Structure 1
């Protein structure tokens, strides 16, 4: 009897999980793999700030990336998962997929729910469609831009947008410090790079509301802007919570060290949708650097479970944080395994070239 493995999501984690499982199970007959994704293209999420600034990204059709693997691609949006019945409902034929084993890797979206008006008036940069819409919104205006969020996404968006339109006023607004995972030396370099790009940094500044005209700050002040870019955190859709899978307070699937659902052992999860933890016990950050090893571990553990071996634990070991600061500048903050910063940095053009090499190498690995 054929065992049906269904993988939901073809981002970094899902694509690695599907291709890794296919490779490991190639000689194990009786396993069919279906990969479900809303688009027929792989999206380099780490480059979406470039797309928002008007740059062309490489076209990466999933059918090309899956060629020779035997994986069946279903281009459809997942509308429901029934963990009890082991079914997935999608918005295209055959509309219902029945699985024996499931890998849930549907990722995250921008969290525009925390501040009034953000969902209506702000643009995000978390999906391909977000980036396309943001570019369309900003390319014909010359007024100020406000980017909310001092993490990697906000920093990269602010510097890329400022570089694309020299002389344009760009504000970067964050309720804490910009680049919270950086060393003090790293933060000094970051502040200098923002100044060189003409980005005005507003640290320890809370946003109370987003309007059609810009930001209303929590202290009552205002910040006019032609467009607001929302990069102040991510959230997952309610799909996992509604499916019957055990989730935490954020809606992330709770898993054991082997990435198996705590409530449904036939379900593995990877990427931003998972409540996984690093070496120090803290929650892992949502990133490509987390999603790739999760996807690889999910592939190994699915193969192990289907071939009578014992699945192994996920071990996250961080190495660096790579930050683009436009096309010709960058900041690579080297870290300990628990993601805490060490003094070592790589900056400037060398960092920009390094990140480009890592990003291209990731796609090359996904092709293979």
Structure 2
């Protein structure tokens, strides 16, 4: 193995951190001359990639990083650009700083009483709406969604989720489409106007145009197209994982969550190490196992799933679900990152069995 081989990991989320921690362990084992972890942290925003020169420009080119292997793990962010007014009048959960501002605004609003509107009834919208409804009981909380919240779950788990929304006083308007966000209200396609003192946007995500601008092959959403080893189909020296990669097992397409991001990071670290040793690389195999959803601090529901993320019959609710989710949170991600430095953990709950090996129908 070439000890001078330089790996650059873009992104420090679930996938990027797992790759970095695990690869540092792999490389130390191979080359005992490396001091410490062998990892250098560079703070900044990647603004350009030159796949031919194998460089990454940081902060407009003030810093240039050269790489032999690039791991693209930049993730995604909430997309507020498709509906007029969403970018100007909605909070998101894209950063701790924005979340802190939102919390302060909610505290001020509760003192006077007011309305909080959530645009998007996916898992993020559900968890945020129930958390805020429980924490700020004097606020009127409304959840707007194109589909029924919990539509991806089985009937029993979904029924428990809706009972929790009712218990917490969350008003659900399903089957609606937001067409405009104003400072004091949200306008719907059918002409309704929903009063809104604070609006939180949780509907859909977008990825950075960085890969597409660099000439790396992407799909229509800007996700990097990858092969079975999670390497760019146009530039094999680039490994793409997490939300910004179009990972398509036999059963369908992986959607970005920590549940899939950590195993993909683990796999990528192992793949890079194997390639540098001249060893054969096995295809990435992954299948979903569960959908854990917090419903405030004192309730939760866990829907166990097939590999393709469709629901099984089994589910947990209430206290059992809370204990299950707390165990997951206590074991990942920080503890997992640390342990990857010292041992080879299996970060995959399920490889999906036969479903990940059979051709897609």
Q: What TM-score comes out, normalization by structure 2 length?
A: 0.88
Contact 1:145–1:228 (CA<8 Å) still a contact in 2?
Answer: yes
Q: Structure 1 residue 141 and structure 2 residue 143: aligned?
A: no
User: What is the match of residue 273 of structure 2?
Assistant: 303
User: What is the match of residue 220 of structure 2?
Assistant: 249
Q: SS where residue 322 of structure 1 aligns?
A: strand
Q: SS where residue 219 of structure 2 aligns?
A: coil
User: What is the match of residue 356 of structure 1?
Assistant: 326
User: How far, CA to CA, are the matches of 1:236 and 1:133 in structure 2?
Assistant: 24
Q: SS where residue 223 of structure 1 aligns?
A: strand
User: What is the match of residue 258 of structure 1?
Assistant: 229
C-alpha RMSD of matched pairs (Å)? 1.8
User: How far, CA to CA, are the matches of 1:244 and 1:77 in structure 2?
Assistant: 19
Unaligned runs of 5+ in 2: 340-361
Aligned residue among 67, 72, 83 for 2:51: 83
User: What is the match of residue 106 of structure 1?
Assistant: 74
- Offset of 1:180 from its aligned partner? 2.3
- Offset of 1:31 from its aligned partner? 10
User: What is the match of residue 230 of structure 1?
Assistant: 201
**Which residues in structure 2 correspond to 1:1-368 (within 5 Å)?**
2-29=4-31, 68-91=36-59, 95-142=63-110, 143-280=114-251, 282-362=252-332, 363-368=334-339
- Offset of 1:30 from its aligned partner? 9.8
- Offset of 1:28 from its aligned partner? 2.7
Contact 2:21–2:338 (CA<8 Å) still a contact in 1?
Answer: no
Unaligned runs of 5+ in 1: 33-66
What per-residue deviation string (whole Å, max 9, x for no partner) do you get for residues 29-50 of structure 1? 3998xxxxxxxxxxxxxxxxxx
Contact 1:84–1:244 (CA<8 Å) still a contact in 2?
Answer: no
Contact 1:261–1:269 (CA<8 Å) still a contact in 2?
Answer: yes
- Size of the alignment, in residue pairs? 333
User: How far, CA to CA, are the matches of 1:212 and 1:156 in structure 2?
Assistant: 24
Q: What TM-score comes out, normalization by structure 1 length?
A: 0.87
Q: Which has the larger radius of gyration?
A: 2
Q: SS where residue 173 of structure 1 aligns?
A: strand
Task: Describe the shift of the 1:93–1:210 C-alpha distance in structure 2 as closer, same or farther (beyond 3 A).
Answer: closer
